[in-house]
Amino acid sequence: MESLAALRERRAYECRLTPARALGSVDEAEWFLRDRGMLTRTTDSALPSLYEACHEEPFKPGSPGFATWPATKWPWFGALAERGYLCVAVHRGKNLLVTPETAALLDPICRAEASRMRAADAGWRRLLDHLARAGPSSPEDLRLELRLKRQELKALRAPLERCGALVARPVAMPASDGTGHAHSSELSRWDQAYQGDRDPPPTDPGTALGDLVTAAVRAAVVVHEAEARRWFSWQWYWTDTLIADLVRAGRLRRVDAYLAARPGNGR
């Protein structure tokens, strides 16, 4: 079994943490996503990050926010979403690109969350039911059709996106002045955005969360055990024995206070 030092060395290579492993094209970025199964946009955890793997100077050094993104490679995250990869907000509200294999792991949880949230709040139910009838819609259309103010729609969609019941897809719209294009989004229910098995076998959300955490540890290569619990939104499906159960089943292993996936485990 690999030592912690060996795992960290492998993590640096597989997550492209060194300048020698910098991504050189969108095609390479897509291969990186396919290899890892999931990518965050910026560096915010042990999960692999697209922008960290670019190793490019920020757009505007010394400034916060968007200015910290890579100077020329910042559109790559959106470019991968445009290639059909889902961008979900289940990483505690932050953007996470996922492959179809990872989306299949998310599916039981997001379906359960859509049902739970629809039953929990009349506003959430109204928005989800409207999308079921109208299909994927722009925020502008939803505000008009549901007679919502901008902040009212934002307050409804944010928790739904965070829990995976709602998915926002970036779209480019013609600019109003006829030159170039403007960026907007299209909102879909999870069952509209995910094009996997239309009649999946029933899977308990807690079991699915264990599968997802295993895949996430594989993506990160090695991670401090305390961090893994903070990766995803659904604390109510997490049990005190989840990690211990995965270790007992031979899917994860502990190395000091860290976790690594067993060989052959992951997605």
Quick one: how far is CA 6 from the chain centroid?
27
User: Tell me: the pLDDT tens digits for 136-184?
Assistant: 999 999 999 999 999 999 999 999 999 999 999 987 645 455 554 456 7
3-state per-residue secondary structure call for the chain: CCCHHHHHHHHHHHCCCCHHHCCCCHHHHHHHHHHHCEEECCCCCCCCEHHHHHCCCECCCCCCHHHHCECCCCCHHHHHHHCCCEEEEEECCEEEEECHHHHHHHHHHHHHHHHHHHHHCHHHHHHHHHHHHHCCECHHHHHHHHCCCHHHHHHHHHHHHHCCCEEEEEEEEECCCCCCEEEEEEEEEHHHHCCCCCCCCCCCHHHHHHHHHHHHHHHHCCEEHHHHCCCCCCHHHCCCCHHHHHHHCCCEEEECCEEEECCCCCC
Cβ atoms of 185 and 105 closer than 8 Å:
no
C-alpha 4/C-alpha 256 separation (Å) is 8
DSSP track, 73-103: TTTHHHHHHHTT-EEEEEETTEEEEE-HHHH
Give the pLDDT of residue 68: 92
The token pair at 238 is 């997490």
pLDDT value at residue 199: 72
Structure confidence at residue 241 (pLDDT): 95
Q: What pLDDT, on a 0 to 100 scale, did the predictor assign at position 146?
A: 97
Q: What letter represents residue 53's amino acid?
A: A
With a cut of 70, which residues of the chain have pLDDT below it?
172-183, 198, 200, 264-267
pLDDT on residue 175? 44
> CA 190, CA 106: separation in Å to the nearest integer?
10
* Residue 201 DSSP code: P
Burial label for 260, CB within 10 Å (0-12, 13-18, 19+), is buried
User: Rounded to an integer, what distance in angstroms lies between the CA atom of residue 246 and that of residue 198?
Assistant: 28
The CATH number of 103-193, from 1.10.357.10, 1.10.10.10, 3.40.50.1100, 3.30.420.10, is 1.10.10.10
Kindly list the domain boundaries of the chain, sorted by start residue: 4-83, 103-193, 205-261
User: Which residue in this structure is represented by tokens 């007679």?
Assistant: 147
